[in-house]
Structure 1
Amino acid sequence: MKFTALIPARAGSKGVVDKNIREINGCPLIVWSIQQALDCKLISKVLVSTDSPIIASIAEKAGAIVPGLRPSYLAEDTTSTEAVMLHAAENWLNNNPDEVIVLLQPTSPLRFKNSLDKAIELFIDQQADSLVSVCESHAFFWSTPEEPQALYDYMNRQRRQDIPTEKRQYRENGSIYLTKLSILNQLKNRLGGKIAMFCMHEAESWEIDSLTDFNIVEQLMKKNGL
C-alpha cells in the first residue's frame, strides 16, 4: 500500500477570513498539516487540493505538491470533502487501488509527533479499509429542549474514572482519516468497510472554526512545544 496525504484547503471561509493561511504560532495554518505529513515516514507524498493560487503558492513553498487548481464547482460552501477526495483520486492518483488517502484537515493543526505514524500503523495492523481519529468524550448529552430527554441515566451519574471501558464514548475529532481508494470509489464516503478507530489526546482534537479557536489552539501548541 502507498499512503498519500491529501489536504483540502479552499479559499472561501465564512467564520474566519483567509482561515487556511492565517498565521498561528508562527506559520500559516495549512503549513502545520503539510509539515506533519512530510515528517511522517509512512507517507509517500503530500498533495494539497485548493482553488486558490495564493494557498497553492504557500503550500508548494512548504514542500507540498499542488498538481493543479481544483475547479470552482468543488470549492463551494456546499461541496463535500468526499467530492474533493474523489476528484483527487481520479485526476491525481489515477484511482490506483494500492493507494490510501490520508486526509488531513488543515483546521486541525495540533497533532503530536508520531501521531500520523501511529494512525497508519494501526490501520495496517488491523488490516482496515478506513480509519477515523477520535478522542474520548465525557460529556453528558441531552436532546429536544422542548421536552428534555437525557441520553444517559442521570439518576446514576457516574464519575468519568468509574465508567467501564466498554461504555466509554468517543467523538470524531476531524484530525485524521484514512481511506482505501477502493472503498472511496465504491461508497463515495471516507469511511466504510472495516473501520479502525485511532484515539488521540484531547489537546489534539480542537478544530478551528473561529478566532476563539485560533487563540485556544495557539496556546495549546505553545504549551505542547509545537
Structure 2
Amino acid sequence: MSILAVIPARGGSQGIPRKNLLPVGGRPLLAWTIAQALEAREDGDVIVAVSTEDAEIAQVAREHGARVIDRPAELATHTAPTEPTVLHAMDTVEAEGVTLEAVVLLQATSPVRRPDTIRRAIAEFRGTGVDSLVGVVPESPFFWRLPEHPGASARAAYDVAARPRRQELTPQQLHYFENGSLYVTAPHVYRTHRNRIGGRTGLFVLDEVEGVDIDTLTDVAAAESMLARLGWRTS
C-alpha cells in the first residue's frame, strides 16, 4: 500500500505571475513543499508527485526529487477545481499497479511546514481511522459579524458577558481555520464524493507559524522568516 502525495502546480497564476516558481528563501516556492513531502518517505512508501501542464515547473519538480504527472490542459485552467486533478493523478499511478492507502493533497503556496508535519499527519490519519483529515490553524474565538442592515447591532461569535482570557481557552473553545496546506484522504472519498473531504473527518492542528500562505509578494518575507524559525536552511 502506498501514499500518494499530490502537489498541484499550474503554470498560470492570477495574482503573482509564475507564483509556483517564485524565489522564496533561496528556492523556488514549489521546492519547499516537495522537500517536506520527501521527508515523509522515512515512514513508508510515499510517492511525491507534482501535477502540472508546465514544462518549466516539471523540470524544477524533477530537479528537486518529485515525480511529474502531466496534467491535461482542461484541468489546468484557473477555473478548474482541484479534485479532478487529484483523481487524474490517482488514475495515473493506479494504472501502474499501485494500491493506494491514502492521498495527501499539498498546496505549494503554503510553504511553511515543520519537517515532520506531513509524516505526523499520515500517522494521525492511520491512528484515528478517519476518512479525511484537514490541516487547520488554531485561532481565538473572538470573531464578529457585521450587522445585517444599517443601525443593527454587530454580532459576536462568542459570549461577550463571559469573555475568557486567551490563555485560559480550551482547545474546544478555539476556532480552527482551514488554510489549504494539507489534506489526507482515503481514496474512496475521492472516488465516491469527488471531494478531498468526506466521511468521518478529523482535524490535524498545525502550528500557528505554519499558517503562512503566499498570496502577495509581501507574504514572502513572512514565509522566509518562519521557514528559518522552523530550522529549514534559507539563503
Q: TM-score range by the shorter chain?
A: over 0.9
Cα distance in 1 for partners of 2:192, 2:67 equals 26
Pick from 194, 213, 216 the counterpart of residue 210 of structure 1: 216
| Structure-1 separation of matches of 2:104 and 2:45 | 8
C-alpha displacement at 1:97, in angstroms? 5.9
Looking at structure 2, the residues matched to 98 and 4 of structure 1 have their Cα atoms a distance apart, in angstroms, of 7
| Residues 167-195 of structure 1, C-alpha deviations (whole Å, 9 max, x = no match) | 22211122111111111110111011122
Are the counterparts in 1 of residues 53 and 73 from structure 2 also a CA contact under 8 Å? yes
Q: Which residue of the partner structure matches residue 121 of structure 1?
A: 123
- Determine helix, strand or coil for the equivalent of 1:165: coil
Picking from 175, 183, 191, the partner of 1:177 is 183
The letter for the 1-side match of 2:36 is: Q
Alignment of 1:6-155 (within 5 A): 6-40=6-40, 41=42, 42-68=44-70, 70-94=71-95, 98-145=100-147, 146=149, 147=152, 148-155=154-161
Give the distance between the partners of 1:165 and 1:27, measured in 2 at CA. 35
In 2, the alpha carbon distance for the partners of 1:205 and 1:14 equals 21
Deviations 1:103-141 (A, max 9, x none): 111011111121111111111111121111112111522
Of 34-43 and 178-187, deviating more is 34-43
SS in structure 2 of the partner of residue 132 of structure 1? strand
TM-score by length of 2: 0.89
Structure 1 ranges of 4+ moved more than 4 A: none
Q: What is the identity, as a one-letter code, of the residue corresponding to 2:68?
A: V
Cα distance in 2 for residues equivalent to 1:168 and 1:222: 27
1:43 CA displacement = 4.6
Cα separation, partners in 2 of 1:98 and 1:66, compared to 1, 3 Å? closer
What is the Cα deviation at residue 154 of structure 1? 2.2
Change (3 A) 1:165 1:99: closer
Distance 1:108 1:43, change over 3 A: farther
Given residue 13 of structure 1, which amino acid in structure 2 is its aligned partner? S
Q: Name structure 2 gaps, 5 residues minimum.
A: none
TM-score between both structures, scaled by the size of structure 1? 0.92
Q: CA deviation at 1:33?
A: 0.8
* CA distance in structure 1 between the partners assigned to 2:5 and 2:155 by the alignment: 41
- State the alpha-carbon separation in 1 of the partners of residues 122 and 28 from structure 2: 25
Between the aligned partners of 2:117 and 2:61, the Cα distance in structure 1 is 21
**What is the distance in 2 between the residues matched to 1:93 and 1:206?**
33
Deviations along 1:22-58, whole A, 9 cap, x unmatched?
1100100001111111121235211110111110010
The total of aligned residue pairs comes to: 225
Distance between the aligned counterparts of 1:106 and 1:80, measured in 2?
15
Identity level (%): 39
Q: Deviations over 1:51-91 (max 9, x none)?
A: 111100100111111132x1222111211111211221223
Gaps of 5+ in 1: none
Q: In 1, distance between residues paired with 2:177 and 2:55?
A: 34
Distance 1:5 1:38 in 2: 9
Change beyond 3 A, Cα 1:39–1:166: closer
1:130–1:192 contact (8 Å) kept in structure 2? yes
